[in-house]
Amino acid sequence: MIEIAGLTVRSGETEIFGGLTTRVAKGEAVRLTGPNGCGKSTLLRVIAGVRVPSAGTVSVAGRPPQHRSVRALRGFLQEPPPLYEHLTTREQLALMAGLWGTRIGTLLERVDALGLSARQDVLIGELSLGQRKKLGYVCATAHDPQLLLLDEPFNGLDSAAVTAVVDDLRRRKQKGRTIVWVSHTDPAADLPDRTIDLGARDRSQVRPTGDDE
């Protein structure tokens, strides 16, 4: 699903990754970890096609991350979620439903399950961090993407919402979805098939064995 070869990202005089090579197979669940500044969020942005690498190559399903077909098959939850603050929760979901051809009723049910039933007609600019994260998760998964990229999906969530998101990710994994996420916490030790430590000095630690799909 994801092929990364010799990846380097430079920002000013700072170099991140320094030639990272790794692969994520179709249907695999991978957790990214490491100290602050090691490039976890940057790697997600590169895979999502919103950050261009300085060197090396990245492909998703055999195509560049910026390709239209790749954008259609992936969902990306950024930190913080890029939501329209002048819209209400319901209006944001209506926008996503129209974009992906999804029933808005289904999306409203999903935000209700995450504890936002009383916030559907509240402006997003008035929502708390945790409430925005819940809404952002529903938006990122509105079209049931084949590839799900999540930056700190559990940050700011209450315990009930964390359980609901973990259960949802388990269901998606069972359906064969590919999931890559950044998290400093580990609320579901059984969810990742493996963990990539981007702080590891020996880059051979992030090279999985076996063939990619």
Judge whether 213 lies within some domain: no
Judge whether 49 lies within some domain: yes
pTM of the predicted structure, to 2 decimals: 0.90
Judge whether 212 lies within some domain: no
* CATH code for the domain in which residue 55 is found: 3.40.50.300
Angle between helices 104-113 and 129-140 (to 10 degrees): 140
Closest CA to 130 of 198, 55, 79, 86: 79
Tens-place pLDDT, residues 110-138: 999 999 999 999 999 999 999 999 999 99
Tens-place pLDDT, residues 181-210: 998 777 877 899 999 988 874 444 344 433
Judge whether 114 lies within some domain: yes
Judge whether 106 lies within some domain: yes
Q: Containing domain of residue 118, as a range?
A: 2-206
The structural domain count of the chain equals 1
> CB within 8 A of 105, min separation 6: which ones?
none
